[in-house]
Amino acid sequence: MTKPLVAILSGAGISTDSGIPDYRGPNGLWRRDPEAEKLVTYDCYMADPEIRRRSWQMRRTNRALRAEPNAAHLAVAELDRSGVPVRVVTQNVDGLHQLAGMPARKVIELHGSAHGVVCTRCHARGAMADAIARVEAGEDDPPCLECGGILKSATVMFGQNLDPVVIGEALAISKACTVFIAVGSSLQVQPAAGLVGVAADHGARLVIVNAEPTPYDELADEIVREPIGTALPRLLTELRTG
């Protein structure tokens, strides 16, 4: 008997137990500090050296770069190791699914990775840690070492389009999966949220694990409001043993 393909769409809520604040929740970053949104808005970032300087200072203290996986990330990796086919589509840029043990090839990062940098001119890539070391050494706005262009985090900023190849991979998984679990996502940001509807339309069992209601709750076969750190491990254990 073929094992079901489990797709997991993870949002900011899966990483709050790792000390990374979410963005749109009741205590989310954008609600507390609207000015902070400029630091991750592409046009503002490209046009204003002061915004870039502040962005690099923010990256120096970015919790996502030092966070450790929590019970929910570990449970996803454990499900994969058990032999159940698992694919993760994540809205997060923290790399915690991979750090927990999920093979990188099975994790689709819709919004890129905070652990890398990319040149906006020549598209050369490098490690965020190396760029931050340059900031620590005194460079306010470290340019690309290849061409002198503006460096940015290898994440999708506000105002940038998602990579169509990445979106295509996420859509294929959503259409093929047997079980689709949306966890820790407000499901308000497209096109990520739309993957839920695609999965449901293609016959997947839909489970939504989130503290607050989402626009897709009426499509769900199961809605879980319990804390993610306990709810997701329980759900995935049931999948593994059931």
Active site residues: 111
Token pair recorded at residue 28: 């989310």
Cross-strand pairs, 180: 7, 206
Q: Which residues contact 232 (CB under 8 A, 6 or more apart)?
A: 14, 71, 72, 75, 76, 181, 183, 209
Closest CA to 185 of 89, 66, 116: 89
Token pair recorded at residue 25: 């929740």
Cis before residue 191, ω within 30 degrees of 0?
yes
Tracing tokens 């159940």 back to the chain, one arrives at: 84
- Rounded to 10 degrees, the C-alpha dihedral 131/132/138/144 comes to 20
Q: CB–CB of 16/73 below 8 Å? A: no
Token pair recorded at residue 82: 């058990």
Q: What are phi and psi of 8, to 5 degrees?
A: -120, 115
Look up residue 29 and give its amino acid.
L
